Amino acid sequence: MSTGIGARVQRKEDKRYITGKGKYTDDVRNESQAYAAFVRSPHAHANVNGIDTSAAMAMDGVIDVLNGQQLTGDGIGNIICGWAITSKDGSPMNMGAWSALATSKVRYVGDAVAVVIAETQALARIAAEAVEVDYEVLPAVAASDKALAGGAALIHDNAPGNLIYDWEIGDGAATDAALAGAAHVTELAVTNNRLSPNAMEPRAAVATFDECDDHYTLYTTSQNPHVARLVLSAFYQVAPENKLRVIAPDVGGGFGSKIFIYPEEITCLWASMKTNRSVKWTSDRSEAFITDAHGRDHITTAKMGFDAAGKIVGFKVDTIANFGAYMSLFSSSVPTYLYATLLSGQYNIENIHCNVRAAYTNTVPVDAYRGAGRPEACFLVERMMETAAREMGKDPTDLRRANFVQEFPHQTPVIMAYDAGDFGANLDQAMAAADVAGFAARKAESAGRGKLRGLGYSSYIEACGIAPSAAVGSLGAGVGLWESAEVRVNPVGTIEVLTGSHSHGQGHETTFAQIVAERFDLPLENVSIVHGDTDKVQFGMGTYGSRSGAVGMSAIVKAMDKVEAKVRKIAAHVLEASEDDIVIEGGQVKVAGTDKAMGWHEVGLSAYTAHNLPPDMEPGLKEGAFYDPANFTFPAGTYICEVEVDPETGVTDIVQFTASDDFGTIINPNIVEGQVHGGIAQGIGQAMLEQVVYDDDAQLVTGSYMDYAMPRASDVPSFSVHHASTTCPNNPLGMKGCGEAGAIGSPPAVINAITDAIGSNDLAMPATPQAVWNAIQAAK
């Protein structure tokens, strides 16, 4: 059976997970392990006038209680946002100070003010309860529009009016003129609901300081251990990079929430030095709800204008983005360059203008969550298309087709240059698979049972493979977004690939090995993937933004190019042939058209014995490469959701969910389909179940799985997943990325379907039975 590109290979990493032998951060326990528990603010906004640790310190087994004054006194730097956004008036963004432990003021429920280090986790938690903090409670605000309205509590002194930035993209005057001349203008107000990522493994950190070498080791739940080390070193001054090893072992899901370097990791590292003990912190789920970065939370109004033929002439968008109490690592980029740049959707739109105001509120910081900006853009565009079609009396698929981009490359008015796609092919495939032709009969059958049946479309596009370093640098990014790889051929011919990508469910140990096994025609088991340890892998930018295929694998391909070139030279020398005649197949390196050959392992051995190498060739067979992408990649497709609503209760069943995606080259269909399934389930969660709720005092109401509705098995259907692909012209494998599409494309399909069923367009996410029932009643 083939194990190469396109093969449904069973995952190599599964055995340890299905037998309970995975090694996650909380499974690490060092000799004489000490445990950390954080003292967190119960108030959304308060001055800290004093911290009394005496009762906690007096407890048997408490090693130390540390606070923010000590942390900043030791020179630990403030947490930063790594992407600088400039307001439309030319001013820089207003970034307020964020100390890992608050010193004089807390700004959200969960903000940490102190940490207890104790001999057991239970004791640390009990002692944390005994720390007395003198809070002077201040007025608080949770909603972004209220935070920007006059008179709201001021959260950071250097962000007047709680405004972080007021940014725009596109030509406002031209868009206004286009809308003024439009035959029809559709107006829409949408809220993109606030979500909690909820990777099933809670975050954790185990920090150990070695005083002999002044060296730190951090096990952490990270999607990007090298970025963590860089930031911990360069910005937070925990230790120089050569004195800090960061290991992200098995990581139980991320969805964006484990990109960022949080106060807890910083504090554990510092505390391990202060106490000279290995310090371990493991979040529980309640703590995760008040510390893991939240996602989404946009309030948007928009207008889209059409000419008499139904062609879009202009699209004007105004968005408020809730950033929470502090600017998280990539927060600023999410509602700007990852959102507004996708507002052209799959459509040829000449005039687009988007204005984004980012607001501080007294809530958990908000940052990238699966899709990061693109779900917000897709929801707006696809709700707009469906709404406009209904207003104009057009079939929603006809309206989409009339506006699809047909020629590539296509330059949108909002930076992105789409490189390849066939949007009509995905729509056709999805409609056929969903049996749209038979929908009318199914709807009639439902009606006969007193049920309302609806069909909703979403033709999404998104941008992955982030990103060309110079391009993102010009837009304010503080880092380059290339990826690195090293391919080591051992003297016995087996291969280790060291990659800067990080796998936390994506199956890299399998798919990355597949491209190597295919390239050198070797058994899959001869290839091992090494990742997640800064002592093993030189550098890497990590895994997020569906970049591990398009960027991470491209780096491996570039390194393999170099390995192959050297293999050819060695074989040509040993076999006394021309390099051009060398072929690599079946575990052998051969001279084409002859019986001269050497085993792949013999080439490896030749490279390392170095007894008979070409003149001037260095021994060894190990090559590295850095790959900087030439462009974003543009996964696209159409999702069709079919629902049945009980008008008496508002209970909505998704009776069919169909996906047609264009991901470019697919390495392992099992894994790609699994990514789509999971993404759609998260999108259905956003559309029908999930909502982070704060009350008016900015107290978190949804603080556990009793209150925050996670999708369960019975909440989602089986999915009908299909592919109609075009090849990405901008990377060597032709890949686009598949990790986020499901979460991006599905929410508007669900809401379009429910609103189609109930005959009312006024329905916000999450469309709970109560919300659906209310919408039905309001429309009566």
Partner 1 sequence: MTNVSMTVNGKAVSREVPDETLLSEFLREHLRLTGTHVGCDTSQCGACVVHVNGKAVKSCSTLAASLDGSQVTTIEGLANGGLHPMQQAFTENHGLQCGFCTPGMIMTSVDMVNRYKADGKELTAQAIRGELAGNICRCTGYHNIVKAVEDAAAKM
Binding residues (CB under 8 A) for partner 1: these are 10-11, 13-24, 26-27, 29, 122, 198-202, 250-253, 255, 284-286, 504-507, 670-671, 673-674, 677-682, 704-706, 710-714, 716, 718-719, 742
Task: Please report how close the Cβ of residue 533 comes to partner 1 at its closest, in angstroms.
Answer: 18
Task: Please report how close the Cβ of residue 125 comes to partner 1 at its closest, in angstroms.
Answer: 11
- Whether the Cβ atoms of residue 262 and residue 291 lie closer than 8 Å to each other: yes
Task: Please report how close the Cβ of residue 370 comes to partner 1 at its closest, in angstroms.
Answer: 10
Shorter beta-carbon distance to partner 1: residue 738 or 758: 738
The SS3 assignment for 634 reads coil
- Whether the Cβ atoms of residue 112 and residue 38 lie closer than 8 Å to each other: yes
Rounded Cα–Cα distance for residues 775 and 755 (Å) = 9
Residue 134 has a CB neighbour count (10 Å cut-off) of 11
Rounded Cα–Cα distance for residues 453 and 644 (Å) = 4
Shorter beta-carbon distance to partner 1: residue 11 or 558: 11
- Whether the Cβ atoms of residue 456 and residue 665 lie closer than 8 Å to each other: no
HEC states along 52-99? ECHHHHCCCCEEEEEEHHHHHHCCCCCCCCCECCECCCCCECCCCCCC
Beta strands in 621-699 (DSSP E): 622-627, 636-645, 652-662
> In sequence order, what are the residues at sequence separation of 6 or more whose Cβ sits closer than 8 angstroms to the Cβ of residue 250?
16, 17, 22, 23, 24, 504
- Whether the Cβ atoms of residue 65 and residue 56 lie closer than 8 Å to each other: yes
Helix locations, 188-262, DSSP H:
225-234
Shorter beta-carbon distance to partner 1: residue 107 or 258: 258
> In sequence order, what are the residues at sequence separation of 6 or more whose Cβ sits closer than 8 angstroms to the Cβ of residue 540?
224, 225, 226, 483, 484, 499, 500, 501, 502, 531, 552
Map tokens 């554990």 to a residue: 268
Task: Please report how close the Cβ of residue 717 comes to partner 1 at its closest, in angstroms.
Answer: 9
Task: Please report how close the Cβ of residue 763 comes to partner 1 at its closest, in angstroms.
Answer: 23
Count, residues in the chain: 780
Task: Please report how close the Cβ of residue 43 comes to partner 1 at its closest, in angstroms.
Answer: 22
Rounded Cα–Cα distance for residues 347 and 47 (Å) = 50
* Residue 206, CA distances (Å) to 30, 219, 223, 232, 245 in order: 9, 5, 16, 15, 12
Rounded Cα–Cα distance for residues 700 and 708 (Å) = 11
* Nearest of 292, 364, 330 to residue 107 by alpha carbon: 364
Task: Please report how close the Cβ of residue 707 comes to partner 1 at its closest, in angstroms.
Answer: 9
Task: Please report how close the Cβ of residue 14 comes to partner 1 at its closest, in angstroms.
Answer: 4
* Nearest of 635, 667, 628 to residue 419 by alpha carbon: 635
Task: Please report how close the Cβ of residue 286 comes to partner 1 at its closest, in angstroms.
Answer: 6
Shorter beta-carbon distance to partner 1: residue 673 or 740: 673
Task: Please report how close the Cβ of residue 24 comes to partner 1 at its closest, in angstroms.
Answer: 7
Task: Please report how close the Cβ of residue 151 comes to partner 1 at its closest, in angstroms.
Answer: 38
Task: Please report how close the Cβ of residue 446 comes to partner 1 at its closest, in angstroms.
Answer: 18
Task: Please report how close the Cβ of residue 250 comes to partner 1 at its closest, in angstroms.
Answer: 7
- Beta pairing partners, 184: 306
Shorter beta-carbon distance to partner 1: residue 484 or 543: 543
Residue 649 has a CB neighbour count (10 Å cut-off) of 12
- Strand 588-591 and strand 597-599: the pairing is antiparallel
Q: What is the number of alpha carbons within 13 Å of residue 398 lying toward its C-beta? A: 8
Shorter beta-carbon distance to partner 1: residue 569 or 677: 677
Shorter beta-carbon distance to partner 1: residue 562 or 677: 677
| Tokens linked to 594 | 């002859």
- Whether the Cβ atoms of residue 455 and residue 439 lie closer than 8 Å to each other: yes
Task: Please report how close the Cβ of residue 39 comes to partner 1 at its closest, in angstroms.
Answer: 18
Rounded Cα–Cα distance for residues 645 and 652 (Å) = 4
Task: Please report how close the Cβ of residue 288 comes to partner 1 at its closest, in angstroms.
Answer: 9
HEC states along 140-180? CCCCHHHHHCCCCCCCCCCCHHHEEEEEEEECHHHHHHHHH
- Whether the Cβ atoms of residue 362 and residue 153 lie closer than 8 Å to each other: yes
Shorter beta-carbon distance to partner 1: residue 286 or 538: 286
* Residue 532, CA distances (Å) to 392, 498, 535, 627, 721 in order: 53, 9, 9, 18, 31
Sign, CA dihedral 513-517-520-522, equals positive
Sign, CA dihedral 235-237-242-244, equals negative
Task: Please report how close the Cβ of residue 5 comes to partner 1 at its closest, in angstroms.
Answer: 17
